[in-house]
Amino acid sequence: MTKVSKLFEESEIAARVEQLAGEIARQISGDLVVVGLLKGSFVFLADLVRALDRAGMTPGIEFMRVASYGLGKESSGNVELIGDILDDIAGHQVLLVDDIVDTGRSLLFARNLLLDKGATRLWTCTLLDKPSRREVDCAADFVGFPIEDVFVVGYGIDYAETYRHLPYIGVVE
């Protein structure tokens, strides 16, 4: 059985999401479409858009799905689009939300795709950032927590499609 030790408690995550929403609301004005990268960002995105509402914003919500991990702990290095957004984002400001920036490949791939679709301005937001693992030049505009090179699960993040349900973020040991 895999052991998971807590890295960030549920209350720490909730407080940081509220802070992020405040930072975003101070820097972005006007209409905004929030695009979440599935599956990992779904819990974070749900909490973030509610916090954005409390900060006075009324974001639209869209999802896209990209993959590079499969069922392992290491990225394959190849990013593929599995599910595209359904709405036209041409002419809209976009906040791209991911659960974790590791190599940077997935976030860069999705960012470029959304810009190609006509987003007028695009910002990126990630709950977790592992700068030591970066393989491409891709820094998120808004970061919840920088972390060391550890494999994490919980709060929507999985290991082989398990542990997404955890209300906290833990390290797989």
Residue 141 is assigned to a structural domain of this protein: yes
Nearest CA-CA partner of 42 in 127, 134, 119, 152? 127
**Residue 102 among the catalytic residues:** yes
How confident is the model over 61-68, as a mean pLDDT?
A: 87
162 three-class SS: strand
Residue 124 is assigned to a structural domain of this protein: yes
By DSSP bridging, strand 152-153 and strand 169-172 are antiparallel
Domain residue limits at 54: 11-22+30-150
Nearest CA-CA partner of 143 in 1, 60, 134? 134
Residue 87 is assigned to a structural domain of this protein: yes
Please check the confidence at residue 21 and state whether its pLDDT lies above 60: yes
Residue 128 is assigned to a structural domain of this protein: yes
Residue 156 is assigned to a structural domain of this protein: no
What is the per-residue pLDDT for 80? Answer: 74
Query: Which of 47, 102, 129, 158 does the annotation list as catalytic?
Result: 102
**CATH code of the domain covering residue 145:** 3.40.50.2020
Residue 92 is assigned to a structural domain of this protein: yes
What total number of domains does the chain contain? 1
Please check the confidence at residue 83 and state whether its pLDDT lies above 70: no
